[in-house]
Amino acid sequence: MKIIVDRPVEMVVDAIRCVLPVNYEEEDMPNDYPHRKGQQWDITIDIETGKIRDWPKGIEARHIYMKVVDGGRYYLMHGADIVATRESEYVPACIPGEYGDYVEFDINTLGTILNWKPRDYEIVDSFWPEVD
């Protein structure tokens, strides 16, 4: 017999991958913007630094304000491995933005999100709801 037992597990996560829809036509994101693939913006953010991985040089600073409601997909990463997912739900509390419907990033020329300040408990609570 095989059973599943929920128990606390310690794991290392180093990034959050966000796959966000660009389809509300409110966003001012050019089609050739870094990491935009059609109607999705697929970025991986280093948790400690707020730097978007593989950000190209020469991109001007930009304020990104996107209404994604419950259309985004979010992944906690350890290297290239997915540790936890959150899909088709409101924007997690650890992602800068408002109301759980919006993502808001102030990105500098190096690809660092200047308003990135998630706290550990926000990341944990966003991906692992409290279990009774």
Question: What pLDDT does residue 30 have?
Answer: 85
Rounded to whole angstroms, the Cα distance separating 123 from 119 reads 7
What does the pLDDT look like over 39-87, one tens digit per residue? 899 999 999 999 999 999 989 999 998 888 888 999 999 999 998 899 8
Quick one: pLDDT at residue 126? 81
Which residues on neighbouring strands pair with residue 112, listed in sequence order? Answer: 51
What is the structure's pLDDT at 1?
79
pLDDT band of residue 131 (cuts 50, 70, 90) is very low
Closest by CA to 105, choosing from 58, 59, 45, 48, is: 45
pLDDT tens figures, 89-104: 888 889 998 778 899 9
Q: Indicate the pTM of the whole model.
A: 0.86
Q: Report the length, in residues, of the chain.
A: 132
Which neighbouring-strand residues pair with 52?
45
Please give the pLDDT value at position 132.
44
For residues 40 and 20, what is the distance between their CA atoms, to the nearest angstrom?
Answer: 5
